[in-house]
Structure 1
Amino acid sequence: MSEPIIRELRKEDIQNGFLTSLDSLRKTSNMDNDKAIKIFEKINSNPDHIIAVAELGGKIVGSTTLLIEQKFIHDGGMVGHIEDVVVNKDFQGQKIGEKIMKYILEIAKNRGCYKTILDCTDDVKPFYEKLGFKQIANELRFDND
C-alpha cells in the first residue's frame, strides 16, 4: 500500500472523501454541497483554523482540525486545540491517524503553541499517549439543548 499524503484541506476535497471520512464521527456525507463549501470558505478564511487531511489513492481517508488560540497569559502565548481526529473505518490500523497527528502537531509547534490539547474518550487514550499526550485534567461538557 502506498503512503498517504498529509496536507491541508482543499475545496475539491469536500466531495472527494472528506465528508465521508467524517461519517466515522457523525453522519456528514449527506450534507448539501453548497452548505459544505460555505463552511469550508469560512474555515479557510481563518488562518488559526487548520484542517489537515490524509489523501490516499486520490481520496481523502482521514483528517483532523487544529484551532490556535491566542492567550493573555503566558505573555500572549498560543494554545493549539485539536478536534475531530478521524480516519475512514476502511483505512484504520495503517498509522494514518498517527501521521495526521504528527503533521498537525508540527504546525502547532511552528506557529508557537506552548501546548496543544485535546479531549478524547478512554478507548482512544492509548493512541494519544503513544504520541506523547498526558492526561492532565477532566473534560466537562454543557449541552445547550
Structure 2
Amino acid sequence: MPFTQDAELELSFDAKLIPATLNERLAQHNLHIRPLASSDYHRGHIHVLASLTSVQDPGEDRWKERFNELAQSTTSASKYFVVVIVSKHSDKLVATGTVFLEPKFLRNLASAAHIEDIAVDHTMQGKGLGKVLIQALTTLSEAQGAYKTLLDCNDDNVPFYNKCGYETKGVYMAKYK
C-alpha cells in the first residue's frame, strides 16, 4: 500500500503541533509521525496497541466513533492527542501514544497532562520510537500550557523514562474493575 500524505487524511488534530524535527529524524528509517487519522483502524491501530496490553477489537464502527470523540475533544478543556508513527514502506502504523489534558482548579486553573498508551510494534522495538513518541507528546502538552506532564509505567520501564527526562514522583495506585 503506498504511503498516504497527511493532506489526504482526516487527522484528529493539526499535524503542525508535532515538531518537524521529529519527522526529519524518522525519515532515515522511512517512518513518519503524525496525528491519528480516521482511517488508521485499517492501518493497524488496534494491532499496535496489542503490543502493549490485551486489546479487544471494537470493530471499525465503534473505533471510528471513539476517533470522532477524541478529535472533537481538542477544542474542549479536556483535550486528547493521539500520535502515531507510520511506515512509509507499508503505510501501516508501527507505534502510537496519547497525551490528554486534565483541567484543574489548581495553579490558577491550569491543566495537568497525562501520557498514556505508549505502544511500539514488537518488530520495531529498540529503534528509539518510544523516545520520539514521548518527545512529541511532551511537546504537545507543554504547547497546550500544561504545568506538568505525568505518566505511569512499570518499574522495568523507569530507566527508559528517566532517559526521556522524567523522574520518579510518588507511588502509582490502581483499582481495576
Common topology (TM > 0.5): yes
Partner of 1:43: 70
Contact 2:98 2:115 in 1 (8 A): yes
Partner of 1:91: 124
Deviation of the 1:2 alpha carbon: 2.1
Contact 2:35 2:81 in 1 (8 A): yes
Cα distance in 2 for partners of 1:83, 1:118 equals 7
Cα distance in 1 for partners of 2:137, 2:72 equals 18
SS in structure 1 of the partner of residue 156 of structure 2: helix
Question: Which of these residues, 18, 21, 43, is aligned with residue 45 of structure 2?
Answer: 18
Give 2:139's aligned amino acid: E
Give 2:70's aligned amino acid: I
Contact 2:100 2:115 in 1 (8 A): yes
TM-score, with normalisation over the residues of structure 2?
Answer: 0.77
Question: Which of these residues, 30, 53, 56, is aligned with residue 87 of structure 2?
Answer: 56
Partner of 1:65: 98
Unpaired stretches in structure 1, ≥5 consecutive residues: none
Contact 2:97 2:115 in 1 (8 A): yes
Cα distance in 2 for partners of 1:31, 1:15 equals 13
Deviation of the 1:3 alpha carbon: 4.2
Give 1:28's aligned amino acid: V
Cα distance in 1 for partners of 2:54, 2:64 equals 17
Return closer, same or farther for 1:78/1:132 CA change in 2, 3 Å cut-off: same
Deviation of the 1:143 alpha carbon: 2.0
Which structure dedicates a bigger proportion of its chain to strand?
Answer: 1
Question: Which of these residues, 110, 129, 152, is aligned with residue 77 of structure 1?
Answer: 110
Contact 1:3 1:56 in 2 (8 A): yes
Cα distance in 1 for partners of 2:161, 2:107 equals 25
Deviation of the 1:137 alpha carbon: 0.6
Cα distance in 2 for partners of 1:21, 1:6 equals 14
Mean CA deviation greater in 55-64 or 23-32: 23-32
TM-score, with normalisation over the residues of structure 1?
Answer: 0.93
